[in-house]
């Protein structure tokens, strides 16, 4: 017995086809197997089960096709062209080391920086190491008010990794007038400013960028809330710097 397979069609057509096949089978059995009721019953049972499976398969093939169309996902950004590793360094004092109060979710932090700022420009930050640094001078920068940048560069000289971008995190309450500092592959940022445009701004400095007056530019100093973009020159400069940093690996 041959059955014609048809392409999945709307459900009413499938139902009609199944009915037709059903009628054909019924005619066949009633004409040829009238006297063999047992065999007829067995074949009919098998046939009904097969029919059930076939109809389920036909229905499934329709719905699967529809689903595939609906879940066609297109990713927002292609893989980053330049990748640089980032070390995270928690600044502690000898008194705080045992009971550190930094509660940063590092993966979330890196995802935030990539998703909000860097991936759009083909730049990818990747989490390197994370560690603690005991340094009293850095921990309480209020003692060095006015000379924070030079103190930072001096005190981080031994601990930063030349093959990475190094983000030093300090307590906001221990710095008076500065949200962040960035230079020479090093960023110092207060814990309260991690998830703001201050972080990409300071990373920009750490990778060689100066300030910009362009509206919405990440290196703008006027409106922190509007900072989103690097311009083409800045993007090229950052990528070149990343290449140089990666040569130190
Ligand atoms: Zn700046």
Query: Is 116 in the same domain as 217?
Result: yes
- The string of pLDDT tens digits covering residues 155-178 is 999 999 999 999 999 999 999 889
Residue-level pLDDT at 2: 47
Radius of gyration of the chain (CA): 34
Query: Is 25 in the same domain as 50?
Result: yes
Tell me if 113 sits within 8 A of 199, measured CB to CB. yes
User: Which residues of the chain carry a pLDDT beneath 70?
Assistant: 1-37, 39, 41-43, 45-47, 52-76
The CA 236 to ligand 1 mean position distance, Å, reads 19
**Domain end residue (candidates: 70, 96, 117):** 70
Query: Is 131 in the same domain as 167?
Result: yes
Query: Is 27 in the same domain as 133?
Result: no
Query: Is 88 in the same domain as 193?
Result: yes
Query: Is 87 in the same domain as 60?
Result: no
**For residue 176, is it within any domain?**
yes
**For residue 149, is it within any domain?**
yes
The CA 201 to ligand 1 mean position distance, Å, reads 6
Query: Is 221 in the same domain as 139?
Result: yes
Query: Is 88 in the same domain as 183?
Result: yes
Tell me if 51 sits within 8 A of 43, measured CB to CB. no
Tracing tokens 């600044």 back to the chain, one arrives at 91
The CA 215 to ligand 1 mean position distance, Å, reads 15
Determine the straight-line distance between the first and last CA of the chain, rounded to whole angstroms. Answer: 71
**For residue 5, is it within any domain?**
no
Residue-level pLDDT at 99: 79
Task: Give the domain CATH number at 218.
Answer: 3.40.390.10
Query: Is 122 in the same domain as 61?
Result: no
Residue-level pLDDT at 176: 87
Residue-level pLDDT at 48: 78
Of 114, 117, 162, 155, the residue nearest 138 (C-alpha): 155
The CA 103 to ligand 1 mean position distance, Å, reads 26
Residue-level pLDDT at 9: 46
**For residue 98, is it within any domain?**
yes
**For residue 178, is it within any domain?**
yes
Query: Is 19 in the same domain as 86?
Result: no
Q: At what angle do helices 11-32 and 37-70 cross, to 10 degrees?
A: 170
**For residue 201, is it within any domain?**
yes
**For residue 235, is it within any domain?**
yes
Query: Is 131 in the same domain as 36?
Result: no
Domain limits for position 187: 82-247
The CA 234 to ligand 1 mean position distance, Å, reads 14
* Ordered alpha helix ranges (H), 71-159: 106-113, 136-139, 148-155
**For residue 76, is it within any domain?**
no
Residue-level pLDDT at 75: 65
Structural domains of the chain, count? 2
Query: Is 171 in the same domain as 88?
Result: yes
């Amino acid at each position: 017995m041959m059955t014609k397979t048809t392409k999945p069609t709307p459900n009413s057509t499938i139902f009609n086809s199944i009915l037709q096949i059903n009628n054909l089978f019924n005619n066949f059995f009633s004409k040829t197997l009238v006297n063999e009721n047992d065999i007829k019953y067995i074949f009919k049972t098998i046939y009904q089960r097969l029919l059930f499976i076939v109809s389920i398969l036909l229905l499934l093939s329709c719905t699967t096709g529809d689903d595939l169309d609906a879940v066609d996902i297109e990713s927002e950004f292609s893989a980053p062209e330049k990748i640089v590793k980032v070390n995270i360094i928690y600044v502690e004092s000898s008194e705080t080391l045992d009971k550190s109060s930094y509660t940063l979710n590092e993966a979330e932090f890196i995802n935030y920086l990539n998703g909000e700022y860097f991936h759009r420009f083909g730049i990818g930050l990747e989490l390197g190491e994370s560690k603690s640094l005991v340094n009293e001078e850095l921990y309480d920068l209020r003692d060095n008010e006015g000379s924070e940048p030079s103190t930072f560069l001096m005190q981080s000289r031994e601990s930063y990794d030349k093959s990475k971008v190094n983000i030093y995190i300090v307590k906001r309450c221990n710095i008076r007038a500065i949200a962040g500092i960035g230079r020479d592959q090093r960023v110092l940022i207060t814990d309260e400013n991690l998830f703001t445009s201050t972080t990409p701004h300071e990373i920009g400095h750490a990778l060689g960028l100066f300030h910009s007056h362009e509206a919405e530019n990440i290196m703008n100093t006027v409106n922190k809330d509007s900072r989103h973009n690097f311009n083409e020159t800045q993007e090229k400069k950052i990528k070149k710097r990343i290449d140089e940093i990666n040569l130190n690996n």
